[in-house]
Amino acid sequence: MALILENIAKHVSLTSEEQALFLSKLETHTYKAKTLLLNAGEVCKHSYFVNSGILRSFNINDNIVEHVLSFACEGWWMSDMYSYFSQKPGQLFIEVLEEAEVVSLSKENQEQLYLEIPKLERFFRILIENSLVANQQRLMDNLSLPAEERFEKFTKKYGTLVHKVPQKQIASFIGVTPEFFSKMKARLLKK
């Protein structure tokens, strides 16, 4: 649980009593690769913190094409934010890509923690703001940058994932077909 406390300490300082209360509201599980933590159409009742392993969120369109929205590796949080905050059925799947130890915090417990430890509300606000900024930047990148530059940004942000995640998922994340991605990587390797 040290990793999650370090994650919080980047933004707010908790007393040892507050840390103990926070940790008492969490559940930790180990999941095998390909486990779905959330299915599209379900209400997202937890946010997830990755102690180890990799998660991804994605949706599947009407043509049965997967679109990867995000990845979460060690020390990152993940949720279907629309569903989590609205408590309405979402459109995302959350899948374990490699065996992972995941800490989950229920919406109910998070709301209780806001009342008991108000500075956690600040912590989660900062996470949400950072997520909003990152998603807006990614959208702008997808609209204005060539695929090579989007891949460069991906490798800077998710450097460890390049060799751990299937190429087709990276292609989906940067908004290109697997075939185009393969040709682009071959071109980049020749440089």
Here the tokens at position 101 are 């130890």
The mean predicted confidence, pLDDT, of the chain is 94
pTM across the whole model: 0.92
Q: Say if residue 190's pLDDT is above 80.
A: no
Please answer whether residues 59 and 107 qualify as being in contact, where contact means their C-beta atoms are separated by less than 8 angstroms. no
52-80 pLDDT per residue, tens: 999 999 999 888 889 999 999 999 999 99
- For the domain made up of 1-108, the CATH class stated in words is mainly beta
- Each domain of the chain, given as residue ranges in start order, spans 1-108
More confident residue, 191 or 41: 41
Nearest to 37 by CA among 83, 4, 3: 83
Nearest to 71 by CA among 47, 52, 45, 97: 97
